[in-house]
Amino acid sequence: MQGMHPRLAATRLLALARQFPAVLILGARQVGKTTLARRTLAGVPYLDLEDPATRRLLAADPRYQIDLRAQPTLILDEAQSLPTLFAALRGAIDERRGENGRFILLGSAQPSLVRHAAESLAGRLGILELDGLSAAEAACGDRPQDWRNLWLAGGFPDALHAWELGGSFRDWWEAYLRSYLERDLPMLGLNVDPLLMRRLLTMLAHAQGGIANLNQFAGSLGVAHGTVARAIDILERSFLVRRLPPYFRNIGKRLIKAPKLYLRDTGLLHHLLNIDTLAQLDGHPAQGASWETFVIEDIARRERYAHPYSQLFYWRTAAGAEVDLLIERGAERHLVEVKTARASSPYLARSLSAACADVDARAATLIDQAPGAEPLASGVSRRGFAESIDWLP
């Protein structure tokens, strides 16, 4: 059973429900969408459209059934299971256009769900993406977890708490992967051998945080470049992969230069790399890439709710100097560099000062695992991760 952790997204969900007649919560399967909706909107009627009897009931007369239950709000889980639902929702919304927060839709199969929602509910729908637990969320609630456990097991609540039932986060991820590869991918329109997809995921894990080289992946797998490109598109749209583009002031260049690819959840990363414990992770060749992923994702999760329209990039000069994360928040830019060990060298401070000047960033921050926080130079500071779980630049 999932541990109960307060979610930062709850405030954003309520804000969207005040603004729109319907709100769509998107996220990977088992990331906590249902728990978020039912805890934030306690007592609201709930229908799970993956239940065959419920789906048959709504398929017969969707408008009648939703009017009957939306008193005043209705939660509809796995909404993509019933495409005819969206036309009925549009009619119900338009009949009482001034009333907001009437329908909360949950879904994990993003491409089809967003398409149906966009076609039928344009202008009537707010969208909220739910990520895995952040370190701040995991540290609170009825079963708080240290950030080190979150780093190892990942932010899916059932994976994080698997050890409490005598299991392993790896058992949970193995079951999740089997379901995703054998059931979800065909539903998403990707008819690829599950074994080939597992090999691609494992290759992505070994290349974690690297510049995307789809030709190399395709050659190693013995498939066409287009097959790999489509597979990675699906992985991104189902929230398992992050494509982090390079930053250029020329926006057109952002679209043609190669992004970096990350498996977004470190629990999945560690499962694919056969890492069972923090002791095994310590000193593992992938430790640095794993830590970089963990910090970037934790910041990204909090940034999404605090500043929903920020954009994330990495930055690299022609000479090869690189900064792990550039946050563009409106007209402001902030740089974040991630290091596993204490990072306070004058060379790093000078490098980040130069990067700030190059991209006109307000400040740069080094985040590592050492305790405390300290200024390193004008506009450049260092923070330990433990001091940063509630911090944003």
pLDDT band for 40, please (50, 70, 90 cuts): very high
Q: Is residue 169 part of a domain?
A: yes
- CATH number, domain of 319, equals 3.40.1350.10
- CATH number, domain of 83, equals 3.40.50.300
Q: Is residue 98 part of a domain?
A: yes
d(CA 3, CA 12): 21
280 and 220 in a common domain:
yes
State percent of the chain over pLDDT 70. 95
246 and 212 in a common domain:
yes
165 and 278 in a common domain:
yes
331 and 197 in a common domain:
no
Structural domains of the chain, count? 3
Asked if pLDDT for residue 365 goes beyond 80, the answer is yes
283 and 167 in a common domain:
yes
Q: Is residue 302 part of a domain?
A: no
Q: Which helix (H) or strand (E) holds 4?
A: none
Boundary residue ending a domain (72, 104, 129): 129
pLDDT at 1: 45
Q: Is residue 294 part of a domain?
A: no
| Chain segment 56-91, per-residue pLDDT in tens | 988 888 898 898 888 889 999 988 788 888 889 999
- CATH number, domain of 256, equals 1.10.10.10
State percent of the chain over pLDDT 90. 70
Work out the burial of residue 318: count CB atoms within 10 Å of its CB; fewer than 13 is exposed, 13-18 middle, 19 or more buried: exposed
| Chain segment 159-191, per-residue pLDDT in tens | 999 998 889 999 999 999 999 888 888 877 767
What helix, strand, coil percent values describe the chain, rounded to 5?
Answer: 45, 20, 35
Mean pLDDT of the region 293-319:
93
Q: Give the type of residue at 100.
A: N
Q: Is residue 365 part of a domain?
A: yes
pLDDT at 98: 85
Q: Is residue 100 part of a domain?
A: yes
256 and 355 in a common domain:
no
260 and 172 in a common domain:
yes
Q: Which residues contact 195 (CB under 8 A, 6 or more apart)?
A: none
- Domain interval for residue 122: 9-129
120 and 25 in a common domain:
yes
356 and 272 in a common domain:
no
Window from 30-39, 122-131, 237-246, 311-320 with minimum mean pLDDT:
311-320
Boundary residue ending a domain (102, 129, 156): 129
* Cis check: omega of the bond before 157, within 30 degrees of 0: no
Boundary residue ending a domain (67, 102, 129): 129
Spatial CA neighbour of 359 closest among 309, 303, 311: 311
314 and 277 in a common domain:
no
89 and 38 in a common domain:
yes
Bridge-based pairing of strands 46-48 and 74-77 is parallel
Q: Is residue 4 part of a domain?
A: no
d(CA 58, CA 51): 11
d(CA 390, CA 34): 24
Work out the burial of residue 328: count CB atoms within 10 Å of its CB; fewer than 13 is exposed, 13-18 middle, 19 or more buried: middle
Q: Which residue has the tokens 């978020």?
A: 36
Q: Which helix (H) or strand (E) holds 251?
A: helix 251-254
Q: Which residues contact 349 (CB under 8 A, 6 or more apart)?
A: 376, 377, 380
Q: Is residue 281 part of a domain?
A: yes
98 and 37 in a common domain:
yes
